[in-house]
Each structure stands twice: as C-alpha cells, then as structure tokens.
Structure 1
C-alpha cells in the first residue's frame, strides 16, 4: 500500500515564508523521514492567498474570521483565498492529515492571538485550520507530532 501524504506548513520545513521572511523549521526525525520519502506537501496559505514575504504581522479578531494586520489593513480575503487554495491542494494530493504552525492566524490549531497585537491568546483556530477541519482533514500542530505520527500509522502507513 502506498503511504499517504501529509500537508505541512512550509515554514516548518525551513522555507522562508514566515511573516518576517524567516522560517520556523523544526528538528524532528519523523518530519525528516517523511520529507526524505516525499510524503510532505508543503505550503503557506498566506503566500497562496497573495500576501508578500515579508509582510506585516496579522491576527484574527477574536470571535470572527476577520484578519487584520498590525498596520490596520484588513487582509481577510487573502486569508480566505489561501485557505481555499490549501484545501484544493490537500484534496488534489489526497493527504490524510495536516501539520500546521501553532498560533498562526492561518494555521493555528485551538489557540491563536486575539487580534489586539498584545500577545493575548484565545481558544480559536486559524482560517486554514478551520477550513481543513470542516472538510474532514485532521489537523495537528507541530507541538503534536507524536499524536500526528500515531494517527498516520493508524491509517495503515
């Protein structure tokens, strides 16, 4: 049986797509192995949505799907487009799950910043994370790699 692919935030594997032009590369044997085996499908929803690298810091306004930059610009449409494109790629690639960047306004799972730019965290998820989950794709953050690996193995991989 062919092993199933895994969607992953591109910043987690060292691609310089983070808002400040950097990355959030993680050191993980699991991720390294999946990358070497060609199982990872890296993407950045914010870049797919048309935002630049670097770009201003953005946050989701608490209790909404509205995304604003620290500069005050409403970038909700770019985030929605990025989420839609991410889901399209996930479906095309037949991924079995996604590993996304924690606390990101696109990718954050269960905890994100509240839109006040004061480092206040709230229980909510990013725009792309929500869309993937609503579409039946299980999402894990990079802080849940052991759970992600167990899930992947449970799928017969």
Structure 2
C-alpha cells in the first residue's frame, strides 16, 4: 500500500508597498522613508516593493515633483518641466503588477504626500510643503480599479495585528 501525503493548500497573501517605506533608496533625493511600523507589520508577510516614479522612467535621484493641476492631473518638477507622462507610465506599470497578483493581494501600502503614492494628501504644487486633500497619480489609478489602499499611518493599529482601514473620500 502506497500512502500519499498531500500538503494542505496554503493561501498566500501579498502586499505591494512603496519601496521607500521598506528602506530602499528610491525617494527623489536618493534616500528612503524607512518606516519601522511598516516593517513590523510586514515582517511575517510576503510583499513586493514598488516605486512608480522609477517604473515610469525617472532616475534616482531626481528633481522633486508636485501635482499642479487637479483633478486633471499635471505633474511638474521644481524646474517647471512637465513629468506627467512619467507619472502616468509608472502608475500604469504599478497597476499591471497589482492586477497580476490581484487574487492574492491583501492591500497596497503607499507613501502619504507623494505625487505618485499619496492616498489622502498631496503637496499643492507650490513646492512650499503645503498639503492639500488629494491623491497621487498611482494611488488614484489603483483606487479607481478597486484596490485597497493603506498608508504608513493607517496600518497595523489594531492589537491583533489586523489591518485597520483608513477610510477617505478621494477628491472628485
């Protein structure tokens, strides 16, 4: 008699996460936004770091950029150069990754205030560090396609380690 041991099928869940939040030097100035809370939350989870701005063809380091037109998105860098197409390309590439893993994706953790990844707030386009309600280019596209978005401030708040969803009303 031959016995077969069948391993129970494990459910794999995956998170996409802004690469800068896990310590990768993808930020515009060549540094990162390492966030210990994000690392703690992800320590026993499978995650894929993404940087939409790099996926859109922008180098690191690069000039800071902000959204200057909303809701019709236009993004310029601090020298006034239009980098909108790079931001849209990066958003599309990030969406492709999210859609590839869609059935296993538990959520997407994005860097708040970023012109790509901001979920609730972005800078106002003046390069004076003034925040306004709004979504970055990538965050907006992902939200429009139904993905669950989290920020570095909205994850892991509950004692049992479950995600706490930060509800928001995206600009219209």
Q: Same fold (TM over 0.5)?
A: yes
Question: Larger Cα Rg: Structure 1 or Structure 2?
Answer: 2
**1:59 paired to 2:70:** no
Cα distance in 1 for partners of 2:75, 2:106 equals 28
**1:107 paired to 2:117:** yes
Q: Show the counterpart of 2:21.
A: 12
Structure 2, unaligned runs of 5 or more = 1-9, 165-172
Would the aligned equivalents of 1:113 and 1:120 in 2 still touch at CA under 8 Å?
yes
Higher relative helix content: 1
Q: Show the counterpart of 1:155.
A: none
Cα distance in 2 for partners of 1:2, 1:96 equals 11
CA-based RMSD of the aligned residues comes to 1.6
Q: Show the counterpart of 2:98.
A: 90
Cα displacement string for residues 26-62 of structure 1 (whole angstroms, at most 9, x for unaligned residues): 113212222xxxx101110000000000000000114
Give the superposition deviation at 1:110. 1.0
| TM-score with structure 2 setting the length | 0.81
Would the aligned equivalents of 2:69 and 2:75 in 1 still touch at CA under 8 Å?
no
Would the aligned equivalents of 1:14 and 1:24 in 2 still touch at CA under 8 Å?
yes
Cα distance in 2 for partners of 1:33, 1:20 equals 30
Give the superposition deviation at 1:96. 2.6
Would the aligned equivalents of 1:106 and 1:129 in 2 still touch at CA under 8 Å?
yes
| TM-score with structure 1 setting the length | 0.88
Give the superposition deviation at 1:2. 1.0
Structure 1, unaligned runs of 5 or more = 153-157
In the alignment of these two chains, the number of paired residues is: 148
